[in-house]
Amino acid sequence: MRMAWAELHYIYRKEQTMQQNEQIIRTEYSELMQKSYIDYAMSVIVARALPDIRDGLKPVQRRTLYDMHELGIRHDRPYRKCARIVGDTMGKYHPHGDSSIYEALVVMAQEFKKGLPLVDGHGNFGSIEGDGAAAMRYTEARLMKITQEAYLADLDKDVVDFVPNFDETEKEPSVLPVRVPNLLINGAEGIAVGMATSIPPHNFSEVIEGVKAYMKNPDITTEEMMEFIKGPDFPTGGIVVNQDDLLNIYETGAGKVKIRGKVETEQVKGGRQRLVITEIPYTMVGANIGKFLMDVYHLVEAKKTGDIVDISNQSSKEGIRIVLELKKGADVENLCNMLYKKTRLEDTFGVNMLAVTDGRPETLGLVPIIRHHVNFQYELATRKYRTLLAKELDKKEVQEGLIQACDVIDLIIEILRGSKNIKDAKNCLMHGNTEKIKFRYKGSEADAKNLCFTERQATAILEMRLYKLIGLEIEALMKEHKETLANIAKYEEILGSRSAMAKVIVKELNRFQKEYGMPRKTSIENAREAVYEEKKIEEMPIILLMDRFGYVKTIDVSAYERNQEAADGESRYVIRCMNTDKLCIFTDKGQLHLVKILDLPYGKFRDKGTPLDNISNYNSSEETIVYINNLNSLFGRRLLFVNSAGMLKQVEGAEFDVSKRTTAATKLNEGEKLIMVEMLNETEGESIVLQTEKGMFLRFESAGVPQKKKGAIGVRGMKIDENDRLKAAYLLGDEECVIEEKDKQIMLHRLRVACRDGKGVKR
């Protein structure tokens, strides 16, 4: 009670304060929502999901690399725990979940995802087959050498702007001074609000050549640029098979790249062959390798091919090796085409070269991306050499002062000995003010009045140590001054001439290319469309068997006839059908599940079979089978439907020939169940018997039941009391039907035939 009063008092005081400081802003709600959503969308686009055109990095990647740089985790130093890196990054720069930071760190260390890994990972950083990385407390990392040299160098030379972090306690770079086109080399993937980016990786050496070509000819066309940058170069290799489409993709910045895995044929003893997949499409990295193996398995199970005897994944750290053992005389070319068509051995990589350009997202072609990169390099070089020039000019000023001081060192010593404090001595050195200086020798005061050192020179003279007066030290000072003058001339030349700056940039690119360039992994060609001629399935009659546990299988007719007695005794359903047919499963939920007979296991009579749940949408724990038959047997016939509310109807069997694997077979109200589905014989005298739980029976002719669509509820078959409900329904033909009810037998054929929608009789 005391707590409640305290809360009420707090709320009252808060309302009083709000009323005193209240400022009501009247605005349209839709406009406010629109503005808020746009602000949110732009925050996701710019600050999280899309890379910057200049360094090709997302904010989380940039912050992680910068934090590692700040922590001093260099390539030549020991590894550090990833948990330390992630925690430091999250606490200082990236105020989001630790999982996003660690995932970014892991991806930057994975050679099978990045054309140029930026992080050197130590420990389990996942595998190409989809195994996840170990927890961050178990793994370690450090920067790669190329990352230090080409991504993080010169941060101390004012080459990029630094901005406050999220809580304004630290400074972080708005962009990293990346010297290579990282956006093309490593590519990018990201999903923002209403847009997504997908940029494939490219070959390091080719991209460098493309940059140099643009610097020589800024008017270069996309076609001319592609003489240097042939196309994507995926870390997993593979083959790009639509070379002719690449020009349009690189011109517009969007399109689809078709990639295939690399398949080799090996000869095996006995005249047999095997297919060996040594390179996979980039899109297959991860769990899709396992999916590919399952797809091949399903093709064999579904008898789409009989050429594959065995499949095994023999991949290791040395590379991908997926082996398909073939039977003797297999059609290798047709089998390869089938794998391209039916599995992800041939896949498409959707290209959308979207990046943040001048603060807004923009889709760019190949040449514009390189143009932005080159402009960024000139900006970096300009800021770098301006900073270096300023430092050299400062050094020059100090050096000239020290050299001049060496010539009058005796006078300076006399000034220092005659001064009461540093201020007086400094004032004398800078302005020749000798009023507060006591000189030992006549004439020294006149010389002192001629001194005019700058403030920086005066400070350096006062801080100079006596050993600097040694002859060798003076010579070293003269030599250093000469080097400083040479550097000043060099930096002024670079800053004064764009061509001179271009030479410096190209020289640095050549060094990176020589040290880190690698041969291309992905082949590019114009391959023929994979044409797969699917072998026609030989149609033949088979027997479908389903036991009481729900295990289903198909066997040959002759095998069934040899074991007919055992098959009929052990099976819940025995259905004659064709192997090209479909199985129709009607359940008490009013659902129809369709299964291709070819999807069912075909084998010997004593084979166990497969649970029906595993090969269909039917769930035995939630549904009960009411009726099961093959689809072909329903054509030209009618099915009788009876539900627990006593509603019934006739439905044409052809209505259940649908494309969906699961569909509604009838309409049921809440709480109702389907009691019976039977095929009508449509013979004279065919009748229906409805039975309630309280022993009421009603018999009427089936012809009195109207035909409806499968989506209809039907008509009432029997008037049922409120405290009673329908228990069962029977379809009577020529044969007698006897049921047990309360320890007595009831012969349904002897029930009087009445009209539909009656109350029935008590039995």
Catalytic residues: 138
* 3-state DSSP assignment of residue 218: coil
Q: How far apart are CA 551 and CA 571, in angstroms?
A: 9
Which of 346, 269, 333, 264 minimizes the C-alpha distance to 305? 333
User: 458: burial class by Cβ within 10 Å (0-12, 13-18, 19+)?
Assistant: buried
Q: How far apart are CA 728 and CA 644, in angstroms?
A: 8
The CA-atom distances, in angstroms, between 255 and each of 192, 206, 426 are: 19, 21, 70
Find out whether 485 and 479 touch, Cβ atoms under 8 Å. Answer: no
Strand order in 273-279's β-sheet? 262-267, 273-279, 322-326, 308-313
Retrieve residue 42's tokens. Answer: 């732009």
Q: Which helix (H) or strand (E) holds 689?
A: strand 687-692
C-alpha 174: how far from chain center: 25
Q: Which helix (H) or strand (E) holds 98?
A: helix 98-109
Count of other CB atoms within 10 angstroms of residue 735: 6
Find out whether 54 and 372 touch, Cβ atoms under 8 Å. Answer: yes
Find out whether 651 and 639 touch, Cβ atoms under 8 Å. Answer: yes
Find out whether 726 and 720 touch, Cβ atoms under 8 Å. Answer: yes
Main-chain dihedrals φ then ψ at residue 593, nearest 5 degrees: -110, 130
The CA-atom distances, in angstroms, between 563 and each of 148, 221, 457, 558, 578 are: 76, 76, 111, 9, 19
Find out whether 61 and 189 touch, Cβ atoms under 8 Å. Answer: no
Find out whether 119 and 142 touch, Cβ atoms under 8 Å. Answer: yes
Q: How far apart are CA 162 and CA 168, in angstroms?
A: 12
Q: Count the helix, strand and coil residues of the chain and give each as a percent rounded to the nearest 5.
A: 40, 25, 35
Alpha helix positions (H), 110-162: 145-150
Strand order in 715-716's β-sheet? 674-679, 638-643, 647-652, 715-716
Which of 118, 134, 278 minimizes the C-alpha distance to 186? 118
For residue 99, give every residue at least 6 positions away whose Cβ sits within 8 Å of its Cβ, in sequence order, or none. Answer: none
